[in-house]
Amino acid sequence: MLGYISPSLCKLPELKQSTPNSYKPLGLSNEHSSTLISLIKLNQMQEQIQRHRDNYLIDSEQRIQRNLLKLVKQNEAEIEKEKLLLEQQNTLKLEEARKQLEKEYEQYLDE
């Protein structure tokens, strides 16, 4: 890179013009004016790239958070289904055990 151009320099209205002759009042030659114009444009492009990068990272982070939230909700739903299934199985087993105990108790009373 040829040099650093401060953001405040890029925002000066007289420096936004794109012809080397625009910089004559600053005492710059055409070659230096062209270099300054190129540096300003490069700096502006770098700022634009950085904004796009920042926006992409923000979008990616939000997408990851949404996907994680979906996964958490799916896992919670699966856990609830498993709990219900286990409760039903336990209820059936308890009912069978109760019937078996009643049967054994009746046999005991019959003896």
What pLDDT sits at residue 22?
Answer: 59
Residues 54 and 24 sit within 8 Å (Cβ to Cβ): no
Cβ atoms within 10 Å of 36's Cβ, excluding its own? 20
What pLDDT sits at residue 37?
Answer: 81
Phi, psi of 51 (to 5 degrees): -65, -45
Model-level pTM?
Answer: 0.51
Confidence of residue 1 (pLDDT cuts 50, 70, 90): very low
Kindly report the average pLDDT of the chain as a whole number: 83
**Closest listed residue to residue 10, CA positions, set 47, 40, 42, 49:** 40
How many residues make up the chain in this entry? 111
* pLDDT tens digits, 47-100: 999 999 999 999 999 999 999 999 999 999 999 999 999 999 999 999 999 999
Residues 40 and 15 sit within 8 Å (Cβ to Cβ): yes
